Amino acid sequence: MSRFNQKAQEWDLSSMRQSIAQNAYNAIINNIDLDKEDSVIDFGAGTGLLSKKIALHVKELLAIDSSEKMLQKLDELHIKNIQTLHQDISKFQTDKKFNGIVSSMTMHHIKDLDILFDKLYQLLDENGYIAIIDLMSEDGSFHTDNEGVHHFGFSEKDLTKLVKKHNFKDIKYTKIYTVTKENRQYDIFLLSAKK
Amino acid at 9: Q
Which member of 25, 43, 98, 168 binds ligand SAM (CB under 6 A)?
43
- The alpha carbon torsion through 60, 43, 51, 2 (nearest 10 deg) reads 130
Among 28, 49, 113, 130, binds ligand SAM (CB under 6 A): 49
- Say whether residue 23 binds ligand SAM (CB under 6 A): no
Find the shortest distance in angstroms from Cβ 163 to ligand SAM.
17
3-state DSSP assignment of residue 157: helix
Q: Which of residues 87-126 bind ligand SAM (CB under 6 A)?
A: 88-90, 104-106, 109-110
CA end-to-end span of the chain? 37
Which among 69, 20, 44, 55 is positioned nearest to 177, based on CA atoms? 20
Mask of contacts with ligand SAM, 176-195, x by CB under 6 A?
A: --------------------
Does residue 128 touch ligand SAM according to CB under 6 A?
no
Q: Of residues 17, 52, 73, 195, which one binds ligand SAM by CB under 6 A?
A: 17
Question: How many residues sit close enough to ligand SAM to count as binding (CB under 6 A)?
Answer: 22
DSSP 86-125: ES-GGG---S--EEEEEEES-GGG-S-HHHHHHHHHHHEE
Candidate list 32, 34, 41, 46; residue touching ligand SAM; CB under 6 A: 46
Q: Is 48 helix (H, G, I), strand (E, B) or coil?
A: coil
Task: Round to whole Å and give the CA distance between 140 and 149.
Answer: 9
Amino acid code (one letter) for 31: N
How far apart are CB 14 and ligand SAM at their closest, in Å?
9
For ligand SAM, the closer CB: 84 or 104: 104
To ligand SAM, the closest distance from the beta carbon of 44 in angstroms equals 3
Is the sign of the CA dihedral 57, 61, 65, 67 positive or negative? positive
In the complex, which residues of this chain contact ligand SAM (CB under 6 A)? 4, 17, 21, 43-46, 49-50, 64-67, 70, 88-90, 104-106, 109-110
